[in-house]
Structure 1
Amino acid sequence: MPFIKPLPEWQATGTEPPLSLKQMGWQMGVKPPSDYFNYLQNRSYEALKELQEKAGEVKTVNNQAPDINGNINVNVDTSTLATKEELTTHLADYIKHPAYGITKSLISNQYAVDIEPSPTIYTEGMGLVLRLTATSSAVDSISVNINGLGGKALRKANGNTLNNLKAGGIYSFRYSTLGNGGAGAFILQGEGGEYGNAGPNDVRVGKTFGTEEGIKQGTFVGYGIGDEIPIEKLDAPLGYMNMPRISSMGAQPSTQYHKDSLKYDHSTDSLIIANTNIIYKYKANTTAYIGQYTAPGSPIYYLQVDEDYGFIYVDADGRGRNISKMDINFKVLWKTNVTIFSSFYGDLVGNAPGNNGVAAAESSNSYVWRWNKDGGLVWGGYQGIADTYNLCLTSAPNGDVYVAVQQSNSIHKIYKFDGLTGVRTEVTLNSIQLNPVIKLRFNKVHNRLIVIFQNSGMQVRAASNMGLQYSYSGITNMKNAEVDNEGNIYVTSGSGANAVGGMITKFSHSLSILSQTIIGLTESVAAIAIDKTPGKEYPDVYFGGQYTVATRSKQTVGIKQ
């Protein structure tokens, strides 16, 4: 279309105004020269003229020139373009391209979904991509219902049931009229290859593997180069497997005076050793010397350690006098004012774990006391336990006190004193006959009392009523016992069958033997301590004797290349 308005012709070129005038503009009182106006009008005319001349150039489209009005008619070949009807048919062709839908519901293991355009039947090869809004059953067969056409099973490529589908997951399917035994099914696409026959016991613990039922956890405990094998897993005759020794400390426990002369403190990872009238402290994992305490009297009869807080309970003045509580640096925090006579077999002092105080018994006059964590007497005094020949004591985490007694008439009893009130209950141990209880230990993992007899084995009793749970006999000359964080029991013994040079037997909490190791000392193994570091399945074991320095050993052996 041509331009109609004529150009405002102006031929006088004039003079271009200076830059300062262009920037500031006309100011009041200024009389512009005529050449400035001629310049502006001439430039406007030239610009409009150029625009009309350029815009008016003849153009062609597909060799078609514009008509008198500037319009161009273009002929387009539409023979290859789809019609509206053909486009509608294509959109509904879910074989050529899959439909996409978000499930509306999951009811009775069937997903419901609507897609657009709505299909009228399920056809062979029909594609469907689903985003799920709910997680399906992990065991039952799952189906899908599209636009109310009826449910169709979802299957794996091998025809197996498909389940355990996850909310938020996007799954691709193709319909097969032969699926589900000819009833038709949507087959999962892109699943991957077939699964083998590996089961949980074929795959190592901590590893996962795929199955027809989904991901499973391995249960096989295997060992490779550089791993440590627990001794109890080795197929070796009981009593003939040596426990590997790692290192030795510089002091030996005074087991001639008291078998509990070796204790582990996991709060500082240190080993505490009583030797005559000196208490030594070593770093357990490096054997580095930390410090020592010397009692004014000799020897030290009693040593207990709060394994959670590191507090030490000891007859700080020696010879059973004044049971004291020390901190980890051997500072005496408080002392009792009682004297505990020594006993060849038993323990007369027992602390309650978790910084819950300490209890003590006096063997000749039937006195039992309990003090709280600050040294205050909770209860105590004469208990009327007549004709006492030998006794030993332990405490539970709640402060309850257990005392095993052998009387001169060979009647054996266990007394339980309530930690708060001192109220006493008792149970009689039958048919023991001149076989003293040498150790009481408390299994806080299973809330049970462990009773160690010198010559006829051991018992596990319920903490509540002291009823018998498990019993074992078969090891003679038992010396000491400790309990690890799993409730396993470690018992030391002296000479006897398969026990030359001392032996450590590891029992489960129900008194099944897990391992038995010969230590190879020139004496009985009397003192024992266990690494109580939380989470350590096979803790290090510390042992010693009257003539043997404290030794650190492990319950595993390494595999070399």
Structure 2
Amino acid sequence: MPEQLPQWNAVGVEPPQSLKDSGWQPGMKPSAQHMNWLLNRAYKCIKELQQAGGNVDDLTQAVESLEKTVGTHLVDYVKHPACPDVVTLSGATYVVTLDDPTFTDYIKNMGLVIELPVSIVGSYVIKINNLGAKNVIKLNGLPHKNPTKGAICSYRYSPTAMNGNGAFILQGEGGSGNAQPSDVRVGKTFTNDDREKTGTLVAYGLGETIKALDLVGRHYIQTDQHKPFADGQFLNSEIVTINGVEYAFSYSGKRESSYMTCVETLTGNILWTRNVAYQWQGRIVVFDSKLYIGYYDNNGVITTGCGLEVMNALTGASLKITKMPTNGGQQLYDVPDICFNSELKEVLAIGNLTQNTCYLYRFNLNGDVIGNSSNIYSQFQPMPYPSEG
């Protein structure tokens, strides 16, 4: 029971602020009215506290009721998932320990949140306290596989899952499917039945950047340029840069016809094509904006015999055709190869006289013959100087 509060009903008179600040000094006799005011104010304040706070018994009962309500609320594993501190692994079973003597069976829709202590390869089960182990499945009903150490997983229990045997269903699981990394473009992430993966397939869509660089450090672009250039196979090709742009040149040909094409490698666009009624031979040499190539003319379309043709590399237009001279007017029948001498800025070409004999020729950048060997060589091997651009 609370103590009986003594009443003091005389209101009295409030003392001035100066007296409140200094207080009664020695020798002073407090005024009766000031004392009435002080006792009345104390009585009213204590009464207010006693009435608002209630008695100790009432407060104790209220606290006990609150603790019971909170405790019941906390062990409601449907509203509040269980978050055990102890989780161990035994084989492919995560063993969960709940410090709750009231938990005696799995409950429909009960939640469980655990941090996985160890990774597992394949599927797994969960066991709480001494109850039986339950399978873990995804939303699609398939087993959840390959959980990773340190992952915080949230589950809900369904007694009807797995044909009524019950199972924990993983919440928030990503996609599923049978796609494999080799089926998905490189660098792209996806999920299948074995969790998140990263694709390894190298493939590109129309207009997308190809992960390769041209000769001037730019990315190639996949385009819809897919056209047959000519019948037969290409005999030779070259890739060079002209004024900072990369181009690819290729040709095919027979004794009485040849076909050449120029492609801008960055976009795949065909810059130009050209057909002639004679045969181009040897490799393609490009320097600055000029293209050099050997030829054989069997029917006198340009000059009967063999020589060097100079072309505009950006348009394909023929700039000059020079026949290779020979000692004694012998007829050359083949230009097996040409190359570029970067030190002298000259084009070197081989002219075959017979199958086993040949001359070596030097041309300036305009396509004029500077000179040729006076001797006939056998089994001559050209020096593989590259193009410069």
Structure number having the greater helix percentage: 2
Q: Whose relative contact order is higher, 1 or 2, with alpha carbons under 8 Å and at least 6 apart?
A: 1
- After TM superposition, the score normalised by the length of structure 1 is 0.34
